[in-house]
Amino acid sequence: MKPSLNEIKKKTIFMVCIVVVLLALLVLRVAYWQIIRGDELSGKAKAQQQGSSIVTASRGDIYDRNGKVLAESATVNTLICNPKDIEADGDSEVIAARLAPVLNMDQNEILKIITKNSRYQVIKKRLTNEQTEAVKKLRDSDVDATIAKAFKGVYFENDSKRYYPFNVAPHILGFTGYDNNGLQGIELTFDDELMGRNGSIETNQSAKGTTLKDQQNEYLNSSQNGDDVVLTIDETIQHFLEKHLEEAVTENKLKEGAAGIIMNPKTGEILAMATKPDFDVNNPYDIDQFEKYAIDLGYDTSDDTGDDPDATPKPTEDPNNLSDEAIAKIRNKMWRNKVISDTYEPGSTFKIITAAAALEEHVVDLNSTFYCPGFKIVADRKIGCANKSGHGAQTFVEGVRNSCNPVFMELGERLGYEKFMEYFTAFGLTEKTNVELVGEASSIYYHNKMSEVDIATSSFGQGFQITPIQLVTAVSAVINGGERMKPQIVKEIRNSNGILKTYEPEVISRVISEETSQQMREILVIEDVLNYLGVEKQYTENEEPDVKQEIPDVRTMDLTEAKKSVVDKKLNVQVRGDGDTVVDQLPKPGTMLNEDSTVILYTEEIDKTHTVTVPNLKGMSVDNAKYTLEMSGLNFEIVGAGHSEVSSAYAVNQSIAAGEEVTPATVIGVEFRQVTSD
C-alpha cells in the first residue's frame, strides 16, 4: 500500500522537524564554540602560532619651567629567550656557558631559565651597554658562525630606565621602581600621566612554538608613550637653594638638617624646594651620602616618630654593618621632604602673620607706641623678650623690626582668641595646602579655647606646629596683596601634540586687604624679608641662635698664648696641671661651643680615667640647667625648637643621660618645653 499523500506530508514534516532540530543544535553548538568560547580558542590557536613580546611605553619626561629635562627615560635592553626555539635550533649548553661571564650570572642558573618548558623567559633585565654589545657579538654569525647558531632563540627586548640629568630636586622628582612605576614625588603623584601604555609585538610561530623563519607577519599593538609633566620649578634657582642649604647644614652643624622653599607669592608657584641632607636621585636606595652627614654632624638618622629610638642606628655605628631594618629607617628619613612632611614651631617668622592680622583688625596702626621692659606679664606668667634688658619705647613698626616679643604678645591680647584663630585659619594654617606631592603633614594647633598664655606665646610663633609650605603660603598672602594662593608645583601636562592641561594660579581666599598688604610690604622690605623667612633659620637649634665659637687647637702652645686664643673666642678657660705648655684640651679642637662655655687646658698628661657624672637636668629652668652643668665641669647647649626664651620653660630632654660618665667639658645638649597652661 502506497503511503497516502497525507502520510508523506506527515513524514516530511517529521523529517524536516528533525533536521531543523539537528540544525538548531548544530547552530547552537557552533554558536557556543564561536561566540562563547571563541576568544579562548582563537587565543589558543594564536598562542600556538604566535609568540609575543612586550613593547614598553616610554615614560613621559619631567621638565622644569624653562624646558630643562629633569627626568627622562632611556632605552635599555632586556635579554629574553624562547626555550622552544633553543630546543629546536640552538644549543642551551653553549648559551649558558657563554652568557654566564658576560652577564655575571651563574651558568646553571641560566641553563635552568633557558630550558624551561615555556616560550618566553627573561634571562636578564636592564643590560648595561657593554653587556648588550657582548651579547650582540655572540649572536653575530660574522664573528663566529657556530656560536651564533647555538644562540638561536635568544632575543633582545626593549625596556626603559629612568635618568635625572641635573641630579637635583630628589624630594620633588621622587623616583621609579623596577617596573618603571612611580614610587615617590612627582613620579608617584603623576604616575598615571607619565606611565603611558605598553604595546606588544606578536610573531607567527609553528605549532611546536618555534618562531617561523620565513614568516615575517608581525602584529603590532601600538604602545602609547606617557605624557610629559612640566614643573613650576626653575632648575637654576633649585640648584642654588640646594647649594646654600647644604652649606648652611655643614657650616652650622645642623643636626636636624634644613629645608627651604622659594615661592612666587603672586601665583603660588614653587620655584624651588629642597631638604638637606638628601639622597642621590639617580641612586635613591643608596644611603652613603646620607650616612656621611650622620657621621660628620651627629645627624639623627632615626625616624621622627620617636617610637623606638633604641632600634635606630646611632651615627657612631658602623654604616657598613647596619641591619635591614636600620637601613629601611634611614631610607625613610632621607626620602622625607621636610618642606611638606615635617611640622615645626615657626617662631619669629610667624610674627609676620600676627602683625598682618593686627593691622587688618585695626587693633594697631603703624604709629602705635609700645614699651618693652624685657618681658611681659601675662596672667600669672612673666614671659621674656629675647632682648632681656628690654627694647624700651618703640613704635609698632620698630617693634616688628626688633622682633620684640612683648609687642607681639600685646597684639595677641588685643586680637583675642576668636580673631586670632580666625586669621590663623584664614591664612591656611589649619589645613593641608594640597600641593601635588604625597606625604603632606597636618599642622598641630590648639583645638580648644586658648588661655591668655597660649595666645601670648602663639603670637610669636610658639606652642603650635605647622609645615614650612603652610608658612610660606601664609607669608605670600601677607605680601602679595592679601590673597591666599594654592601652592603649585606643576605648570602643565603635555605630549608630542601639545598641551593637555594647564594649571592656572588658584586663589583660595582673600585674607587681608590690599592696603594692609601694602603696609606689611613697607615694614618688611627684605629688613630683609628673607631674614624673616630665613631658610637656614627654620631648623636652627634655637629661636635666637647662640653665637657659636669653634674651639681653636692650642695643643703644644705655651699656656699664656693658649689662654689668650681661647679667651679671644669669648670662651672660658680652666687649667689643669702645673706645666707651662698645653699638652691636651677638652673639648677637642673644632668643636662648636656657645660663647661663655668652658675649655679645659691640660698642662700635664690627661688622666684618662678622670670622668664626670652627667647630672639629671629634667624639669630645670634654662638658667638652672646651665648652672648645674657648669658646676659639674660640663658645657651646656640648647637643642631643638623649644621654648627656651620663655621663662616658664623647663628641661625635658638631655643629649647624654643622667648618670653617664663623660670626659670633663663635654657638651650636654638640653631640650626645653614651655609649661602648659592647663
Where on the chain is the footprint of Zn ion (CB under 5 A)?
372, 385, 387, 391, 404
Peptide bond into 313 cis (omega under 30): no
Which C-beta is closer to Zn ion: that of 370 or that of 420? 370
Q: How far is the CB of 376 from Zn ion (least distance, A)?
A: 9
Nearest to 338 by CA among 255, 253, 273, 241: 273
Dihedral sign for Cα atoms in the order 533, 467, 472, 61: positive
- Shortest distance (Å) from residue 236 CB to Zn ion: 40
Q: Are strands 635-639 and 667-674 parallel, antiparallel or unpaired?
A: parallel
CA nearest neighbour of 578 among 607, 559, 603, 608: 603
**Beta carbon of residue 385, minimum distance to Zn ion (angstroms, whole number):** 3
CA distance linking residue 97 with residue 549, whole number of Å: 64
Crossing angle of helices 351-360 and 514-524, in 10° steps, is 140
* CB closer to Zn ion out of 160 and 405: 405
Which residue lies nearer to Zn ion by CB, 385 or 529? Answer: 385
- As measured in angstroms, the least distance from the Cβ of 445 to Zn ion is 25
Q: Give burial (CB, 10 Å; 0-12/13-18/19+) of 526.
A: exposed
Asked if 398 contacts 340 with a C-beta cutoff of 8 angstroms, the reply is: no
Residue among 399 and 468 whose Cβ is closer to Zn ion: 399
Closer to Zn ion by Cβ: residue 455 or 508: 455
What is the nearest approach in angstroms of Zn ion to the Cβ of residue 522? 21
Nearer to Zn ion, 351 or 391 (CB): 391
Distance CA 269, CA 27 (A): 66
Minimum Å distance from CB 398 to Zn ion?
10
Q: Please say which residue, 387 or 653, places its beta carbon nearer to Zn ion.
A: 387
The answer to whether residues 462 and 674 touch, using CB atoms and an 8 Å cutoff, is yes
Q: Which is nearer to Zn ion, 384 or 481 (CB)?
A: 384
Q: C-beta of 405: minimal distance to Zn ion in Å?
A: 6
Cell numbers that stand for 110 in this block: 641560566
Q: Which is nearer to Zn ion, 387 or 572 (CB)?
A: 387
Residue closer to Zn ion, measured from CB, 258 or 383: 383
Q: Please tell me whether residue 273 adopts helix, strand or coil conformation.
A: strand
Show the CA angle centred on residue 102, arms to residues 99 and 104, nearest 5°: 95
**Cis peptide, bond prior to residue 615, ω within 30 of zero:** no
Residue matched to cell numbers 632563540: 153
Nearest CA-CA partner of 100 in 90, 87, 88, 112: 112
Shortest Å, Cβ 411 to Zn ion: 13
**Residue 406: CB minimum distance to Zn ion, A:** 5
**Distance from C-alpha of 387 to C-alpha of 369, rounded to nearest angstrom:** 18
Phi-psi region of 390 (alpha: psi -120 to 50; beta: other; left: phi over 0): left
Cβ nearer to Zn ion, comparing 267 with 354: 354
Least Å from the CB of residue 369 to Zn ion:
13
| Residue 362 neighbours by CB distance under 10 Å | 9
CA angle 419–423–427, rounded 5-degree value: 175
User: HSE on the CB side for 362, CA within 13 Å?
Assistant: 2
Q: How far is the CB of 394 from Zn ion (least distance, A)?
A: 8
